[in-house]
Structure 1
Amino acid sequence: MRYGFAIDQTTCIGCHACTVACKTEHQVPVGQFRTWVKYVDQGTFPHNTRDFGVMRCNHCTDAPCVTICPTQALFQRDDGIVDFDRDRCIGCKSCMQGCPYDAIYIDEETHTAAKCNFCAHRIDGDLEPACVVVCPTHSIWVGDLDDPSSGISRLVSSRPTQVRSPEQNTGPNVFYLGAERAVLDPLAAPADSGYLYSRPDRHRADVARDMATDPVTKARTTLNTAHPRPWGWRVTTYLWAKGVGGGAVLLAALALLVGVDLGVLTTLVAPALGVLGTAATGGLLVWDLKRPDRFWYILTKSNPRSWLVLGAYALAAFAAVSGVWLLYGIALETGLLAASPVAWTVLAVLGIPTGLMVAGYTAFLFGQAEGRDLWQSPLLFWHLVVQAVMVGAGALAVAALVAGTDAAGAALIVRALVVATVVHVAMLLVEYLGRHATRAAATAAHMVTHGRYARLFWTAGVALALLGALVALPSWGGGLLALAALGGLVVQVALLAYESVFVRAGQDVPLS
């Protein structure tokens, strides 16, 4: 059994009865929508047209929101309906990133995720969804798509249909009949400067300036809903914080394995950065939840497929290794224990895989955010590791100026800083100036390199990073630690600037 919708846009009159019925049935707050009608105008008066599109959850066969949800608050029923349990939701907003259709929002009253749930309570009572009942032109069809005798199956099989974002391979179960491409493709019709009854929200209006309008159709969206970015500066800062901690421990572990003595940087500073970076990361992640009082649901109501859950395990493992390392270092520095080569080897061997995972696991989390094509790069894991080495080495360079280390240790830190920074910038150029797998990724990359983020990207993200490496370069042999420390500080700012661009631009491409 597989429930689905079929929407006949050739008979839809754009009356919004479905929107009002949905809001009434589910008590949806003002300004938020589970179902809404999008307007797209094409052409120039008097030869212009207006088309409608009913937007909602697509109840995907392979639903990304279900996979990424860390607490199984979103789930797929046996009849194919993708439903949600607000009592399990922690408000992490990852489902909003996973959905390629802008179908999920955070309810302003409950602070939990919500969306069209096919009026599952009505379906269970052998009733049709509210939107179907009120549609005056019978433009919305529902039923079992797996039943060839059902009305919706006969309709879909007898007429040409389209789905939204088929390239995402989610198996959407909302089929459109007679819909204009510009209505279904969010990149084909940028938001107009003014809507019919209002103005577009500032975010959509700003993004539209970086999107090309088709010179032939002149398609533009003249009515739509607001979809603000789910993730902001806390996620940007979390990427940097765990990078500093993971990179510092990785570098200290490498030094141990190659026999380079970093002195107090190994015993205290690197593991302390690991502990502090993990604590800051956890704090930022909990702070970013809309229901922070439920943060522990990640561990007690876990979805083992979600990289938000697996990432929490990676953070916990890294925190444990860093914490034990720090306690051992304190015991050595205070004379409570004597140094043991075996103990250092064990810590180094544990520090490398946990450091790699804490630095790079976000690549897999972002990979599950299937609505954000910019974040789907196969290089992202390794790029995050390179970034971690860059800022981790930068932090150790600052610490070396204060705490001191020998020339060999300083040289290792500086060389890691310079090389990682150069590789980071090279990867940026490859990522943003090369070819992109989808139009959405190309659109986001254009915003970064030539659009609204270009100045910040090129000056702070690229030029400032190279400046940090250049400033630290004279310390290559282990001397002039003041320059290395200055370079180490500069790359922290450069990475924060870049992560701000990366996180925002990935969310700026419209999905509906």
Structure 2
Amino acid sequence: MRYGFAIDQTTCIGCHACTVACKTEHQVPVGQFRTWVKYVDQGTFPNSTRDFGVMRCNHCTDAPCVTICPTQALFQRDDGIIDFDRDRCIGCKSCMQGCPYDAIYIDEETHTAAKCNFCAHRIDDDLEPACVVVCPTHSIWVGDLDDPSSGISRLVSSRPTQVRSPEQNTGPNVFYLGAERAVLDPLAAPADSGYIYSRPDRHRADVARDMATDPVTKARTTLNTAHPRPWGWRVTTYLWAKGVGGGAVLLAALALLLGVDLGVLTTLVAPALGVLGTAVTGGLLVWDLKRPDRFWYILTKSNPRSWLVLGAYALAAFAAVSGVWLLYGIALETGLLAASPVVWTVLAVLGIPTGLMVAGYTAFLFGQAEGRDLWQSPLLFWHLVVQAVMVGAGALAVAALVAGTDAAGAALIVRALVVATVVHVAMLLVEYLGRHATRAAATAAHLVTHGRYARLFWTAGVALALLAALVALPAWGGGMLALAALAGLAVQVALLAYESVFVRAGQDLPLS
């Protein structure tokens, strides 16, 4: 059994009865919507047209929101309906990133995720969804798509239909009849400067200025809902914080295996950065939850497929290794224990895989955010690792200046800093100036390189990083640590600037 909708846009009159019925049935807060009607105008008056599109959850067969949800608050019923349990939701907003259709919002009253749930309570009572009942033109069809004798199956099989974002391969179960491409494709009709009844939210209006308008159709969205970015500066800072900790431990572990003495940087500074980076990361992630009182649900109501859960395990493993390493280092520095090559080897061998995972696991999390094409790069894991080495080495370079690290140890840190910084910039250029797998990814990349983020990207993200590498070069042999420390501080700023651009640009494109 597979419930689905068919929406006949050739008969829809844009009356919003479905929207009102849905809001009444589910007590949806003012300004938020589970289903809504989008308006798209084309042409120039008097030779203009207006088309409607009913937007809602697509109840996907392969629903990315279900996969990414860390607490199984979103789930697929046996009849194919994607429902939600607000009592399990922690408000992490990852489902909003996973949904390619802008169908999910955070309820202002419960602070948990909500969306169209097919009026599942009515379906269970053999009733049709509220929107179907009130539609005056019978434009919304509902039924079992797996039953060839059902009305919706006969309708879908007998007439041409379209789905939204078919390239996402989610198996959407909302089919549109007679819909204009500009209505279903969110990139084909940027938000107009003024809506028919209101103004677009500032975010949509700002992004629309960097999006191309079709010179022939002049398609523009004249009514839609507001969809702000779910993630902001806390996620940007989290990427940097875990990068510093993971990179510092990775470099210290490498030094141990190579037999390079970093002195107190190995015993205290690197593991302390690991512990501190993990603590800051965890604090930021909990702070960013809409229901932080439920953060522990990640461990007690876990979805083992979600990289929010697997990432939490990676953070815990890295924190454990860094914590034991720091305690051992303190014992050595205070004379409580004697140094053991075996212990150091074990710590180094454990530090490398846990450091790699804490630095790079976000690539897999962002990979599950299927609504954000800019984040779907196959290079992202390794790029995050390179970034971690860059800022981790930068932090150790600052500490080396204070600690008086010997030339061999300082040389390893500086060389790691310079090489990682150059590779980071090279990967940026390949990522943003090369070809992209989808039009959405290419459009988001254009925002970064030529649009609203171009100045920050090229100056702070790229030029400052290259300048840091040049400043650190004279310290390549282990001397002139003041220059290396200055470069180490500069790369922190450069990475924060870039991550700010990366996180925001990935969420800027409209999905509905």
Q: What range describes the TM-score normalised by the shorter chain of this pair?
A: over 0.9
Shift of 1:163: 0.1
Shift of 1:42: 0.3
Please give the root-mean-square deviation of Cα atoms over the aligned residues, in Å.
0.3
Deviations 1:417-436 (A, max 9, x none): 00000000000000000000
Shift of 1:91: 0.1
**Secondary structure at 2:239 match in 1:** helix
Question: 5+ unaligned residues in a row in structure 1: which ranges?
Answer: none
Deviations 1:210-258 (A, max 9, x none): 1000000000000000000000000000000000000000000000000
Distance in 1, matches of 2:121 and 2:141, equals 18
Distance in 1, matches of 2:445 and 2:156, equals 37
**Secondary structure at 1:262 match in 2:** coil
Shift of 1:65: 0.1
**Secondary structure at 2:142 match in 1:** strand
Deviations 1:352-375 (A, max 9, x none): 000000000000000000000000
Question: 5+ unaligned residues in a row in structure 2: which ranges?
Answer: none
Distance in 2, matches of 1:47 and 1:200, equals 24
**Secondary structure at 2:213 match in 1:** coil
Deviations 1:10-29 (A, max 9, x none): 00000000000000000000
1:381 aligned to 2:381? yes
Shift of 1:274: 0.1
Distance in 2, matches of 1:299 and 1:403, equals 39
1:48-447 aligned within 5 A: 48-447=48-447
**Secondary structure at 2:44 match in 1:** coil
**Secondary structure at 1:49 match in 2:** strand
Shift of 1:336: 0.3
Stretches (4+) displaced over 4 A: none
Distance in 1, matches of 2:348 and 2:321, equals 9
Distance in 2, matches of 1:267 and 1:335, equals 12
Distance in 2, matches of 1:244 and 1:404, equals 21
Distance in 2, matches of 1:8 and 1:404, equals 73
Distance in 1, matches of 2:268 and 2:470, equals 28
Partner of 1:470: 470
Distance in 2, matches of 1:108 and 1:305, equals 28
Shift of 1:326: 0.1
Distance in 2, matches of 1:233 and 1:467, equals 25
Partner of 1:41: 41
Shift of 1:200: 0.2
Distance in 2, matches of 1:45 and 1:343, equals 77
Distance in 2, matches of 1:418 and 1:382, equals 17
Shift of 1:404: 1.8
Deviations 1:77-116 (A, max 9, x none): 0000000000000000000000000000000000000000
Shift of 1:310: 0.1
Distance in 1, matches of 2:404 and 2:72, equals 49
Shift of 1:154: 0.5
Distance in 2, matches of 1:261 and 1:330, equals 17
Paired residues, number: 512
Deviations 1:55-90 (A, max 9, x none): 000000000000000000000000000000000000
Distance in 1, matches of 2:490 and 2:64, equals 38
**Secondary structure at 1:176 match in 2:** strand
Deviations 1:339-398 (A, max 9, x none): 000000000000000000000000000000000000000000000000000000000000
Amino-acid identity (%): 97
**Secondary structure at 2:221 match in 1:** strand
Shift of 1:409: 0.2
What TM-score does the superposition give when structure 2 sets the normalisation length? 1.00
Distance in 2, matches of 1:133 and 1:403, equals 73
Distance in 1, matches of 2:509 and 2:45, equals 28
Distance in 2, matches of 1:492 and 1:353, equals 23
Distance in 2, matches of 1:500 and 1:470, equals 24
Shift of 1:52: 0.1
**Secondary structure at 1:50 match in 2:** strand
Deviations 1:166-222 (A, max 9, x none): 000000000000000000000000000000000000000000001000000000000
Distance in 2, matches of 1:28 and 1:464, equals 47
Shift of 1:2: 0.1
Distance in 1, matches of 2:495 and 2:52, equals 43
Shift of 1:403: 1.3
**Secondary structure at 1:41 match in 2:** strand
Distance in 1, matches of 2:366 and 2:353, equals 20
Farther off after superposition, 29-38 or 467-476 = 467-476
**Secondary structure at 2:205 match in 1:** helix
What TM-score does the superposition give when structure 1 sets the normalisation length? 1.00
Distance in 2, matches of 1:19 and 1:111, equals 21
